[in-house]
Each structure stands twice: as C-alpha cells, then as structure tokens.
C-alpha cells in the first residue's frame, strides 16, 4: 500500500514524498512583479519536508495581473529573480514548479493597464478577439520558457478558480460562438492549445494543470465533464493533474469546514487518467492526508493554509507518521 511517505517518480522528477505545497499568492513581490527577499524567505521557511512546491500564480501578461504585488513572469528581466527563488527551494533538496496564470475578467481594474478581458463581454469586461486568444497562447508559452530558464523543474498552468482558462472552459462564463466557445470541445480548445504548446517548449520538464473540476452549479461544469477534460489534458502532455474548484473558487463556502473537500472530485478524475492526481481542500491533519493516499483516492495531497499557519507542518507530519 502506498503512503504519504512514499516517493513518486514522474518522468525524470523524483518527489521524496506525497506532500505538496499548493500555489498560494503571498503578495510579496514588487509592484512590477519581481522576486523580493521577503518572498524567498517565505518559501525557504517552507521548503523542507515537501514532495513538491508549487510557487504561487505568476502573471503571464500585464493584462492578466490580479494583485498589486503579485509575482510576474511576463518579462525576461524577471528571470534572474525567479532563478534565485528556484534555487532557494532547491537548496533544501525540494523540487519546485511555478504556476502561470492570466486572471482574465477577474483581473482587478486597478492593476491592469486597460479594461479586463474575458471570453465574453460582461460589465467592465471586454471580449477577447479570436486573434487575441491565439496571442495569449504565445504569452503562456513564453512564461513557461522563462520558468525553465529560471531553473524550475516545470510549470503549472492555472486552469481553476474562475481565472481566464477556467472562464473559457466553463459554460457559465464562455458564451462565445467562434472556435473557442459553444460545445465542450470548443470550450476546452484554448486550454488544450496552451498545454500542447507549453509542452512542446518545455521539453522534459514537468507540466501540471490545475483543473477547475467543478463549478458547484447545475448550469456549470461538473465532474462528468472534467473527467473527459482531464483525459484530454493527459493526452496533450500534462504530467500531473492538480484538482481544485472551478468558478466556485478554491474555498467555496458550501464545502468549507470539511477536511478534504475537493478529494471526491480528485478521486473521480483519477479514475479517468493514468497520470498522478493531486487532491486538496481544508486538510489539516497528517493522518487524514495519509489516509487519502493509502485508500487510493489521490496520489498527492496539497496542504495550503495549514502550511501557511505552520511553516514546519510538512516536517512535523513526516516525523509523526514515521513513528
């Protein structure tokens, strides 16, 4: 039986155990997206005991910025700082990938240079032209290349929590009638193009996709759709699926309070793919994290807020489970 303590090999990448520090925005970058000492310190404190660290969402273009002090990956001059950040984690022997994101219509008007863009027009949101969607694929690819140049072990494409790629996937937010909207097949086209092109450019590096698996809305995406989508993502070159919420976000009120609140979704997705799956949601206890690996629900467990509260959570969890 596999446990939380067991290593996992994903192509050439070896994770020492099944604990994941999920991406969590710290707002510790500079106002132009650069890595700071404070940001490095935040990750240095949490680098031990993890199987994998996923660095917080970094914006791929100025129009996709969510917050003022958000980490950026949209320009080449950011690479030296990102390199230092990757080394900070690697020094502790822990693999690290960085999450790349475009906030789409959720971008804060104050933090982007023009009106936020999305798949469909909305209040204070401009609809992306077909040509612009293709340009954004290139932006994601460039961000992926920068992550590799900075020495990260790979990238996670953010396709959850109601940000741009999730907005294209969900029928709640995508009302387009061009090649990127309408039926399921068209709504997954933009995310799949991003995955395929990033895959082509990052070579053997590890590619993760954070999948907004469930909108928790009868009119939105549901797990039956996301099982099909996950299969397509794996075929397009994703190495690990990181399952979270869709338009409902990462911490939906109706699920909060329960340990492992997105584990059922992750477990369902795991049945439809042959690649490792990360599960998340309100996990606090090492025993719970271990249980969902041991019972085969998920391959990896992300523990977010508990690790923000206690930077030594992972080290303590390993110690506790070994005894």
Ligand X SMILES: Cc1cc2nc3c(=O)[nH]c(=O)nc-3n(C[C@H](O)[C@H](O)[C@H](O)COP(=O)(O)O)c2cc1C
Binding residues for ligand X, per CB under 6 A?
22-25, 56-57, 99, 158, 160-161, 210, 244, 250-251, 280-283, 303-306
The set of residues, in sequence order, having a beta carbon less than 8 Å from that of 41 and lying 6+ positions away, is: none
The rounded distance, in Å, linking the Cα atoms of 163 and 64 is 9
The rounded distance, in Å, linking the Cα atoms of 168 and 180 is 7
CB of 130 to ligand X, least distance (A): 27
CB of 284 to ligand X, least distance (A): 8
Nearer to ligand X, 202 or 263 (CB): 263
Nearer to ligand X, 176 or 270 (CB): 270
CB of 37 to ligand X, least distance (A): 20
Burial readout 244-255 (b: 16 or more C-beta within 10 A, e: otherwise): bbbbbbbbbeeb
Do residues 92 and 76 make contact, with C-beta atoms less than 8 angstroms apart? Answer: no
The rounded distance, in Å, linking the Cα atoms of 83 and 148 is 9
Residue nearest to ligand X (CB): 304
Q: Distance from first CA to last CA of the chain, Å, rounded?
A: 17
Nearer to ligand X, 180 or 209 (CB): 209
CB of 182 to ligand X, least distance (A): 27
CB of 99 to ligand X, least distance (A): 5
Two tokens, residue 294: 């041991």
Give the count of beta carbons closer than 10 Å to the beta carbon of residue 196. 17
Nearer to ligand X, 182 or 223 (CB): 223
Nearer to ligand X, 172 or 308 (CB): 308
């Amino acid at each position: 039986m596999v446990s939380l303590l067991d290593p996992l090999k994903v192509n050439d990448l070896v994770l020492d155990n099944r604990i994941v520090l999920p991406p969590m925005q710290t707002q510790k970058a500079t106002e132009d997206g650069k890595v700071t000492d404070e940001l490095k310190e935040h990750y240095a404190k949490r680098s031990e005991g993890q199987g994998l660290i996923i660095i917080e969402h970094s914006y791929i273009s100025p129009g996709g910025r969510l917050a003022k002090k958000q980490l950026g990956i949209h320009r080449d001059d950011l690479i030296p700082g990102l390199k230092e950040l990757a080394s900070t984690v690697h020094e502790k022997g822990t693999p690290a990938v960085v999450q790349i994101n475009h906030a789409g219509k959720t971008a804060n008007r104050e933090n982007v240079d023009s009106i936020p863009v999305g798949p469909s027009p909305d209040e204070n949101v401009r609809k992306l032209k077909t040509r612009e969607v293709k340009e954004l694929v290139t932006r994601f690819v460039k961000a992926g290349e920068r992550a590799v140049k900075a020495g990260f072990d790979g990238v996670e494409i953010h396709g959850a929590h109601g940000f741009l790629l999730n907005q294209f996937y969900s029928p709640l937010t995508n009302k387009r009638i061009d090649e990127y909207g309408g039926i399921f097949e068209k709504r997954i086209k933009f995310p799949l193009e991003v995955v395929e092109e990033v895959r082509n450019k990052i070579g053997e590096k590890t590619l993760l996709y954070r999948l907004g698996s469930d909108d928790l809305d009868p009119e939105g995406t549901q797990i039956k759709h996301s099982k099909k989508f996950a299969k397509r993502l794996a075929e397009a070159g994703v190495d690990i699926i990181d399952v979270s919420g869709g338009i409902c976000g990462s911490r939906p009120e109706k699920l909060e309070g329960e340990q492992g609140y997105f584990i059922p979704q992750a477990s369902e997705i795991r049945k439809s793919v042959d690649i490792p799956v990360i599960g998340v949601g309100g996990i606090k206890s090492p025993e719970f994290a271990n249980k969902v690996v041991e019972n085969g629900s998920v391959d990896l467990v992300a523990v977010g807020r508990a690790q923000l509260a206690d930077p030594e959570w992972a080290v303590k969890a390993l110690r506790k489970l070994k005894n």
